[in-house]
A and B are shown apart, each in its own frame.
Chain A
C-alpha cells in the first residue's frame, strides 16, 4: 500500500510542470521569439545566411516550430520574399537558413526579420505568431571601394540556358552609363537612384574564358565589368559498358559528351563506383577507366559511373557478369603453311584467357574482296586449319578473329594475311579460230586465239604451241612456238588439208589442245546474205542447220567499221544451237556489221553457212551521191551516181529521192509528184525504191528552161541531208541542127587556114614577089663595064616629072588605102580604065575629068617589082640595110636616124641611081611640112611618080617643082627636113 502511495505521488509531481506549461500556453503567449538574429552575405553564391536561436525553451525541450521570414529590399516596407521555415528547435541551438537572391546582393541593401510559432502536434490548440524580430540589414555595398562603377555578380557560374540578373552600382549620374554583353548593348531596369538591373535570359556558352559583360560611362571612361561563366550542361554518359580481355582487368568506356570545363570550373570528373565491393575509383580519362578485377572470384559487378562538375551530377549504372563480358585480344602470328595450287594450311595463335579457357576462332578466306570460305575453329592457344578448293595461282586473304567460347560477347579484332596459291597447268584449251585467204596463189591461214581466262590459265601463260599436221600426205609435223601475249599467227599452206593443234603453256605445263582442220581448197563458199536486226542487247543472229552432224557453230564478225582493219571476233556455239545474241561494247550505231555463220563438221572443218548484215541502229544517210548529168536534150537529161556505195552507209539504203525544181509555174513532169521541202519551197519529187538503180532519166522537160535537181538516198530512218540543187538549162530544139552545120564549117575554115599557113611561101611568091634590088642588079655591072661613069640609077629629085596620073577615087577608099598601106601598084592596077585631065587653075575645087600620065622611062619590069616591095629607101642606107627595113620598127628607126638630112646633103660620090615608088594623098601627112604654095590636086586624086635621075644632078638644089615633088612624097607619113 505504501508502495502505491509513493508511485502516485511521483506521477503527480511529474505532471505538475506539464500542467503548468499547458496553463501558460493556453493562457498567455509563450516567449519563443527568435533571438540573436544575424545576417551575412555570401557574394560568391549570392545568398543571405541567417542564424538565430530560441532561448525561451525549457532545458532539453524540443519543439517543432515554424519561422516566418520576411526579406525587404532597399527599404523595409518593400518586402520581396516571405517564407515559412519549419524546424525542430532545441534550447540554445543555433538555427540556420539561407536564401539566394536573384538580384546580386551587392546592388541593394536587404532587410530581414522573422517571427515564430509553435507547430508541434503535442500542443493541441493552434498556436499564434510571436512578435517580429527587429529588422536586420544586409548591405554588401558597404564593402565596395571608391570606384565610380561596379557591376555584379562577379564571376558567376551558371549553366547554359539559365536566366541571370546582373546589375551595376554607380557613384555618378546614371544616364551616361551603357552596358554591353559581348559588345552588344543591353537594356535593363532602373531599380534605384544608382542601381540598374539587367536580366539575361537563356544565356549561351560562348567561350571557356567566360562571357564578358561590362558597363561604361559614356564620356568619363570609367569601366566596370564582370565575366559570366556559362557552362555547358553536363550530359549523362552514353554507351557505358565494361569488358575484359583477360579476366583480370575490366575496361569501362563511355561517351562523355560535351566538355563543361571553363576557367572557373574544371572539366567534369568521372568516378566509377562498384556497389557489391563498395569500391570506387576516380577515372583519369574522360571516356574510359580501368578496374582491377578482385581476386575473390567476384563474378557479378554493378558499376555506377558518376559524372560531376560544380553545377550538376549525372550517373549511369550497369550490372553484368564478368565472364559474359570477355572480349579476347587480337590473334597473332597468322601465317600460311604448305601452300599448294589448290590448298593451303593457315596457322595462328591467341592470347590465353584464364586457365584452360577455349576460344572460338573464325577463319575467313577472301578472294577479290569477297568472303568465299568461312570456318570455325575451337582452340586454346594455337590454331591451324587446312583451306582447300583453292584456285591455282590466285591471291587470297585469310583473316581470323576469336571470341570467348563460354559466352559469346564480342569478336576480337581481325588479323589478316595474304597468300598466293601455286600455279597449275592451264585447264582449258584456247579458243581458236581461223581466217583463210589466198596470197600469191597459196592458201594462207590466219590463226587467232583468245587468251585464257585467269580461272583457266592457272598461272602466267608463257607461250602458245601451234602444231600443223598434213592430213593428205604423211609428213613431219611443223611446230611453231609463239610467245605470249601474241594472239594470232599466219600459216602459208598448200592445197592439202591440215589439222592444226594449238596449246597454251605456263610454267607447269600445256593446256589441252584446241584442234581445227583446214581444207586446202577454200572453195567458193557463196551463200545468200541476209539481214539481222540490232537491239540494245546486240545482234540476234539465227541460222538454219544444214547437216545433222554439226559439232558446233561459229559466228564471226568484225568489231570495227568496214573501212577499218578488221578485228576478227568470233563466238563458239554448241551443236544444238541455232541462234545467239552477239553483243559487244564496240558496236556503234550507224555502222554496218557483217556476220558469218560457220558450221563445224565432225571432221572439225568449218563451212560457211550464212551471211548476215545489220546495224545496231540504222541512221539516215550522212552524205549524198555525186550525181553526174548527161544526155542533156531540150526535153530530157540523164542523172547517174554509179560511184555511190550502198554498203558503207549508216543504214540499209532503200532507194533514192530525185528532187526537181522546174521553172516557176510549170507543172511537175510525169513520174514526179509535188512536195514541200523543209525550207518551205515546193518542188517535184520522184522516188526510186531500188537501191541498185543508180541512173535516172528526167524526161518531159521544156526546151530552153532552167531546172534544178538533187538526188539523195534514204534509209528506214530518213533521207540524206538536203544539199544544194544543181542547175541546168535545156537547149532549144534547133540548136543541135545549127551545131551540125556550123561546126563542120569552122572545121573547114581551120583546115584552109592551116594549109595557107603551111604554104605561105608559095603564096607569097605567087601573089606578091619581092622587088629586085637595083644595086644588086646585074645591069649595074653591065653598065660599069661599058665605062660610062654617068650612067647610074635615076634619082627622083633630079627628074622633072613629065606625066602625072591622076586617079579620081572616093575619099573613103583613099583613107582605107592609106590605112592598110596597100601598094601603089595594086591600086594602080585596080583602076586602069579611069583617066582624067588635071586642071591648071588653082581654084579648082570640084571634081573634074582625070588625066593619067605615064613616064615610060621606067620599064615594066621595075614597075612589077614595085608592086610587091613597096617601101621608101633612104639615100644613105647601104644596100645591106634594106632587108631589115621590111619591118615597121626598123623602118621608123631608119627614118629617124638617116632621113633627118635633106636629100641635098647626099654626097655626090655616094649617090647612085635611086628608085622611089611613091604614093601621096593630099589629105594625109603634116601640113607644116608642105611648101608654101603647094599644088592642090583634086581630093580624089593620087599620083604615081617614077623617075630615073642621073647621078650628076644629085647635088643640084631642089627647084620649086622638085620641092613640090618631095613634099608630095612625104605626104605618106614620113617627112624629111
Chain B
C-alpha cells in the first residue's frame, strides 16, 4: 500500500504540473475525446484516497478502532452521483467547478495538517479546473445557437460558518470532508465515463442516467450509504452533432 502510494505521488505531481501549465498557458485541447479522457484520468487520480485521506487519517491518529467508522461516513456535503448524472453537461461542469473551488478553499485550511499532500492535491484540482474550463468552452462553442441555460444554484449548501469546534470535532469533520471529496471525484469519474460511452453508443443519445453494465471504472472510496440527491435541474440536452468531435 505504501509503495503504491509512493509510486502514485510522482505521477500525480507530474500530472498536476502538466495541467497547471496548461491552464497557465491558456491553451485548451480542441479535441473532445482527448479532453474527456484527461478529465476521466484526473478524476480517477483524485478519487484515490491514498493521496489525501489516508495520510490524514494516519497523521491524526484516527486509524484506531472506534474512530475509523466515524471517518468513513460520506457526509453528503457533496452532490451525489445521481444528482450529477441528472445535470446537463454545462450544468455538470459548472457544479464541478464550483464544488472544486470550495474544496480548494477548504484544503487551504487543512494546510497545517497535511502540508505536502495539500499542496499536491491543490495542484491537481487547479489542473482539473483548467480542463473543466476548456471543456466548457468546447461545449459552449458547439451550442451557441441554443438557448442559454439558466444559471444553476451553487453546488449544494456551502458549509455554513460553524462555531469554532474543538480539535476532536475538527479532525472528524476534516476526515469526513476528505472522504466526501474522494467520493465526489469518484462520482465525477463515473459520469465522465458515461459521457464517453454515450458518445460512442449513439451520437444522438443523451448520456444514460444509470451506469452502464460492465463498467470497469475503478472502485470508489464510498461504500454504500445513502447519498442525498441534490435538486439540480434535469434538463438534458443533445450534444450538437456538428461541433462535437467524431
A interface residue numbers (CB < 8 A to B): 151, 154-155, 180, 182-183, 206-207, 209-212, 214, 216, 223, 225-227, 229, 263-264
Contact = CB atoms under 8 A, between A and B. Distances in A.
Contact of A155 (B60, B62, B112, B166): B166
A154 B168 contact: yes
Given A182-B61, A263-B112, A210 B167 contact: yes
A209 B167 CA distance: 9
A214 B167 contact: no
A-B complex: 9 closest residue pairs judged by Cβ atoms: A183-B64, A227-B167, A154-B166, A225-B168, A227-B168, A155-B167, A209-B60, A212-B61, A226-B168
Given A183-B67, A214-B67, A216-B66, A263 B61 contact: no
A151 B60 CA distance: 18
Contacts of B70: 223
Given A209-B59, A212-B60, 9 more contacts: A154-B168, A182-B64, A183-B67, A212-B61, A212-B62, A212-B64, A212-B67, A225-B168, A227-B171
B113 A209 contact: yes
Nearest to B113: A209
A206 B60 CA distance: 11
A214 B70 CA distance: 12
B167 to A, nearest CB: 4
Nearest to B64: A183
Nearest to A226: B168
B148 interface: no
Contacts, number: 54
Given A183-B66, A214-B67, A209 B168 contact: no
B65 interface: yes
Interface in B69-108: 70
Assign chain B's interface to a size class: 10 to 19
A211 B65 CA distance: 14
Contact of A214 (B59, B60, B168): B168
A898 B67 CA distance: 122
B65 A183 contact: yes
Contacts of B62: 212
A211 B61 CA distance: 8
A180 B64 contact: yes
A154 B167 CA distance: 8
A223 B65 CA distance: 13
A563 B246 CA distance: 90
Contacts of B67: 183, 212, 214, 225
B92 to A, nearest CB: 34
A70 B171 CA distance: 39
A597 to B, nearest CB: 73
Contacts of B166: 154-155, 226-227
Contacts of B113: 209, 263
Nearest to B169: A225
Nearest to A227: B167
A155 B170 CA distance: 11
Contact of B61 (A151, A154, A206, A223): A206
A226 B62 CA distance: 12
A210 B112 CA distance: 14
Contacts of A263: 112-113, 167
6 contacts: A154-B167, A209-B61, A212-B64, A216-B66, A225-B172, A226-B167
Interface in B150-171: 166-168, 171
Contacts of A229: 167
Contacts of A210: 61, 167
Contacts of B168: 151, 154, 212, 214, 225-227
A830 to B, nearest CB: 116
A223 B66 CA distance: 9
Interface string B155-196: 000000000001110011000000000000000000000000
A252 B112 CA distance: 30
A892 B183 CA distance: 113
B59 A207 contact: yes
Contacts of B167: 154-155, 210, 226-227, 229, 263-264
A213 to B, nearest CB: 8
Interface in B27-68: 59-62, 64-67
Nearest to B170: A227
Contacts of A227: 166-168, 171
Contacts of A183: 64-67
- Of B112, B168, B171, B172, most buried by chain A (CB within 10 Å of CB) is B168
A942 B242 CA distance: 138
A397 to B, nearest CB: 44
Most interface-central of B62, B65, B66 (chain A CB within 10 A): B66
Most chain B beta-carbon contacts within 10 A, residue among A206, A210, A225, A229: A225
Contacts of B112: 263
A226 B61 CA distance: 12
Contacts of A214: 66-67, 168
A209 B65 CA distance: 18
Contacts of B59: 207, 209
A545 B70 CA distance: 103
A209 B113 CA distance: 8
